[in-house]
Chain A
Amino acid sequence: MNLITLKNKNAQEVASLLDIKERNSLVEMFSTLGLPHKMTEEYHYFDVKKLLDVEYKTLNYVPKSIEEGDKIEIVDGVVTKAPKGLRVYSEVSENVDMEHFDALYYLGHLLSPRVIKIEVDGDTHVEILHKYTQSDALIHYRVEISNQANRHVTMYENFETEEIKNTLVLYGYDMNIAQDSTLRMVRLQTMSGNAYSMVSSHKITVAKNASVVLKNFDFGGDQALQVLKVELGEHAHVDAGHLLYLNDDSKRGTASQIIHRGEHSTSKQVAKNILDGQARGIFDALIRVEKTAKFTKAEQNSKSILLHKKAYMASKPQLEIYIDELEASHGATTGQLDEKQLFYLQSRGISHLEARKILVIAFANTLIETVKDTRHQERIKNAFEEVFYASNKG
């Protein structure tokens, strides 16, 4: 399959090319938004054409019997393992946002009408491991997560590959965070060596008095874009932290929309970006405050460090506000490591490479240390150090 064939096609043509006989409203949404290209705002800094204009191998998504395991394992888009007591199953989804801004959100739903549903009961920790084993493949799947009211869930999302190359992964979550509940999602993704590229397109709905905490740790190379839409109800809260450490000629980042719909809703979005080599980081983030969202508090900040003269950061924090009764702030800074600080560390016998690492870690630490579980905090630090040392060999 070559996705570029969907370019500039009307709904009927899209339905025919994808061999879809139902779900007309989704086809309409996809063809109205159109296949993303360079001028599509959220894909402007991301080389999406390079990913779409490729002949990919298509896979068969046959649900397997799910073995018991200590985590949820999704291999090439199919669930293979899940912890006992957790409801994980595959079903045709009716829960699709009909106002999403991302065409690939709809393409994902069109390609994957059956979604992986995860129902989390009680206060718990869940790990989701995504494994990719196929080269030159288009791997597409969608995951729907729901929790219960008044419950607190932490999810750790990790990625693994076998020795693969040139695969494209399209996946994403539709999350419904129930009233008075909390969901924390800690996502760690290290990519390298052209194994796979990814566009993940999510929709998160946060109900009244609920809270979602999203911590993304994206390290290494390759191409990946996280497209995120969050809708906040009354007194709902989102705390989104994005840490990027990129090297080589990677292009990765986040394009997001946080929409305040309910009164007294609050959002905090912090991005810390460290760009090495010829990497390009993306933080294209909009916070929109609707007329219904009086007394909103919204805070958005992006800080970037460029470790190489060819590195580039596209930081675009934006506020779109339709009311007066709110508190909102946003800002973005980009700079280099501080020479005085580097020298101070070196003057105590610490090597230039180690001093750079200490300062970069210090910059990143404020986000890494927001992960409460010290074991996972350590895991993230180790993943960071592994990538940092690989691209900064003495």
Chain B
Amino acid sequence: MISKLPLLQKELIEYASTKRIYILRVLYGICLYVIFLVNWSQYTSYDNLYQVLGSGRWLLEYIFATNTGAIYIILPMISSIVVTNEKEKRTLSLLLTTKLGPGLILFEKFLGLVLSMFYFLLMSFPIIYMTYLLGGLTNKKIFLSLYIQFLTIAQVAAIGLFFSCYCKTSIKAIMSTYIWGFILYAFLPFFDIFTNISNYGEIMLFPPGFYFYLDRYSLNSWDILSYTLPIWITILLALLGARHLLIRYPRKINQKPLAVRVREDFKLDRHKTPRIHLPLLWREGTHNTWGLSAKIFFGVGVVIAIAIIGNLPDSRHRRNEMAMIIYFFGLAIAALFLAMKSVSLFQREIKQETWDVLLTTTIKTESIFFQKTMALTKFTIYICTLLVIVYSFNIAAFHRYNYYNVRLSTGAKWIYSLIFTFLIFSIIQWSMTWLGLVFKRNRRIAFVAIGIIVSWCLLPILASEFSRDIFGGSRGDYRIFSLFSPFAIFVFVTEGRIPHFRGEGAYTALNLSLLIYLAMAAICFASAYFSSKKHIRVCD
């Protein structure tokens, strides 16, 4: 049967032979088994057998959370580039002229994505069996977990495919998938999903929520299917949208870019003789349409965020947490944008085939590096300023009570937020610039960039959480590890407190991490600067 689906065959062969996917699979496997084994040792450490029995239910929840996390992190990276890859290699037009047609092309690509992600999750099947042996699980719970994981895969794959058909380049498609993915889920109250599922409307489009929601009721298969119908509809809509875009692709490919059309329609011809002093900075600053749209996107985003913060519901607990979600959503998108922009800073010239021409001019290597990064630094300062504005509204709108002096003062919180925002985003900018310089010819470096940012945010937290389980002692002994995670730092600064660090201790911990981040920023800058001497020009 598979021989009748040539594109699926090709996709599966490619997935099997791609080193990147192999590495991701190994990393996922390591994470899954470490998380499982740590929790397994915890739940089975009791002397009383009755305390051990039934713990399978909780272990399955850990497996489920790890798997859905893996789907949300890995699948957008793969799904959002399947069609843009064909566009970049200029093979999409060829595919569309074959007898396959847009519908079948999309179906085969979609199936390829679902199957490739299924191969990832296969690794969790042996441990699901082990959890089953510990009891506390019904068959329904296991099948529900598998069904929900399948739904999550299908939804993320469909959304990724839609943006892959919509965007011109892989980087734009990855960004759009993550951002719209965030937007789709961001306004659902996440924090209630794992603790107090009460409202169907809150989880209607978020598949993992159903795992906890549907488990409470005795429902048959048809009921479960009907409850998850909205998710099927989003999948179908995304696929239909993607098909529509594919049908329009041959017409769209010959269309002039929007910027050109706007210029022509409004007769915005650039007749003035440009007075250029620093050519690269001039071009990056005034003609980089992506940079301009990013600035508009963030500017509008901040206005919306402030408006939402000002109109949040009255319940104080929910207001604080929703404001925090909005702030962290902004942080995540800004970090993603900056990482992509930095990592592709030099790659864009190579893609445009202007790199060689630029290198044969008499501009000094140092000047190429500084002009390019100067434009990027301006962008970093712009987004950091916007983030600090959102943060300022956040703390001004929601004062957190400072019982027993456990929280930082408002002024300290603001100053720490300001410094950490600029420091952490500088680290992202310089480290990703360095990465983009060293691997400027690697078209898939964007994935590595996302991987590094996610690992930097998560690994220190995981280390602080699991060190107690592995090495013993109290949770507070290892809390210091979490200070290496920028995500944790922003949580601490927003909350105004660090668990297990009180009063002066919190200030000392934050000052210490400030020094560490300062050193990291200096190292990243130095790495980028010195590697520019080696990697920009071969002969210098």
- Chain A complexes with chain B: no
